[in-house]
Amino acid sequence: MKKFLFCLLACIPAAADPSTWDTSRARPLGAWKPAIAEYSRRHYGEPQWQLQPKCIVLHYTAGREFPWNLVNSADFAGESPGLASHFVVDGARIYQLLPPEVRSRSAYGINHRAINIEMVGADAQDLMARGKGTMDTAAGLVADLMARYKIPLQEIYSHQQVALMDTDEVPWVLDRINPEPYHKIDPGVEPMRYILSRVRQHQ
């Protein structure tokens, strides 16, 4: 196991080194923690902001620029707090919006268990057309997080998988208010396949 973790960390791109993560756009935790704890109470029956990561969920941002709504929004669909992922990946740059030990609001039904990673891209085709740089950086970040939090490869999911709200597909999905499936297609079949193949190469 130690040999596996050493190889995983040694093989990841330098951009996944936490010292290179850009925290200049991070959510202020003083306001975020009580808001996400209350959100967690309503949706998961867990009145806490702390996250013990069990899985990683991948997304695209549905836009070609940095998604400022993940930093500035105060609510979404009439409910506090606003949207926020843990990381936004744009080319070789990794923005950390929230520490991985703090719950985010990025994937309905699994924010109580997941580290969420958004990749800047309008859609799957756009991601694939960006020279794969963003996806390579995301793959390195995924590999790093897997090693740090002992997350196995089978616990890396697309937002599309989570949106099925099917515990046979994603065992961690839960929502006490609305457990019904919803529509998401990110980050796309081809980007997901590519990233998982790159993560396997780091092992």
Residue 164 pLDDT > 80, yes or no?
yes
Q: pLDDT tens, 127-159?
A: 999 878 999 999 999 999 999 999 999 999 999
Q: Helix (H, G, I), strand (E, B), or coil: what is residue 86?
A: coil
Is the Cβ–Cβ distance between 33 and 50 less than 8 Å?
A: no
171: which residues sit within 8 A by CB, 6+ positions away? none
State pTM to two decimals.
0.92
Q: pLDDT tens, 51-107?
A: 999 999 999 999 999 999 999 999 999 999 999 999 999 999 999 999 999 999 999
Our measurement of the distance from residue 134's CA atom to the centroid of its chain's CA atoms, rounded to an integer in Å, reads: 14
Identity of the amino acid at 128: M
Give the per-residue pLDDT at 132. Answer: 84
Give the per-residue pLDDT at 16. Answer: 60
Using CA atoms, how far apart are residues 139 and 160, in angstroms rounded to an integer?
Answer: 18
Give the per-residue pLDDT at 7. Answer: 44
Q: Helix (H, G, I), strand (E, B), or coil: what is residue 191?
A: helix
The percentage of residues in the chain with a pLDDT greater than 70, rounded to a whole number, is 92
Cα separations in angstroms, 181 against 21, 37, 60, 108 = 33, 23, 19, 10
Give the per-residue pLDDT at 17. Answer: 79
53: which residues sit within 8 A by CB, 6+ positions away? 100, 101, 113, 114, 115, 145, 149, 151
Residue 39 pLDDT > 60, yes or no?
yes
Mean predicted lDDT score pLDDT of the chain:
92
Task: Among 3.40.350.10, 3.40.50.300, 3.40.50.740, 3.40.80.10, name the CATH number for the domain at 2-202.
Answer: 3.40.80.10
Residue among 203, 199, 202 nearest 56 (CA): 199
Weakest-pLDDT range from 4-18, 93-107, 112-126: 4-18
Crossing angle of the two packed helices 189-202 and 2-11, in degrees rounded to 10: 120
Domain residue extents for the chain: 2-202
Weakest-pLDDT range from 10-14, 115-119, 191-195: 10-14
Long-range own/partner contacts, residues 68-77 (CB < 8 A, 24 or more apart): 70/97, 70/106, 70/118, 71/25, 71/27, 71/97, 76/105
Residue 116, token pair as written in the block: 């969420």
